[in-house]
Amino acid sequence: NANWRADYAVTIGSLSGRNVNTNGFFRPSLGGFRNLADLGMPWLSAGPQAHMASYREDQNLFRGAAGGYFSPRSDVGFGVRAFVAAEVGDRMSVRGNTYAGYANRSFVDCSESGLQLEGDMSASYLFNENLIASLGTTLRSRPGYSDAAFWVSLLVPFEKRTSLNARDIIRPNIGIR
């Protein structure tokens, strides 16, 4: 059906830095999303999503001179994600997504489970053919962890723009997508 799409991602990598231990990770996610245009909401798509993550070492605690970072041994969750997108003429675009679900995280010394909520919203505006400004915010609440972020970006494209398109919308990769 043309109204449905599948999203999947697999990220394999390693985190390293000064005063932290190098740590490998594996992060797959899978979702199925339905565009709701036939229900009169062309700006909305929604559907189920599942994700997991595993880090080789639990580096959540600060130990001596070494720093820590969010890296559970196991992070599994499932829920519903919704994407919104609206074009306001040729010069402005608003995008966002929200997620509500259940998450279970296991660390070396404890486990946490419960409601996970995430949301982000961004807006981009074409000031002239050589300048695009974007701003946005992200809010997340997970078992044992909550954070918020705000960002601003300026894009000076090599090609002159008369309208915004998808490649002009800069959104940081914050949260589970």
Dihedral of alpha carbons 153, 145, 106, 115, sign: negative
The tokens describing 59, both together, are 């580096």
pLDDT at residue number 87 = 77
pLDDT at residue number 177 = 40
pLDDT digits (tens, 9 = 90+) for 88-98: 778 898 889 99
Q: Which residues of the chain have pLDDT under 70?
A: 1, 61-68, 167, 170-177
CA distance 79 to 14: 27
The tokens describing 109, both together, are 């010394």
The pTM assigned to this predicted structure is 0.77
pLDDT at residue number 16 = 80
pLDDT at residue number 147 = 84
The tokens describing 50, both together, are 């599942």
The tokens describing 177, both together, are 């997508």
Q: Is 39 helix (H, G, I), strand (E, B) or coil?
A: helix
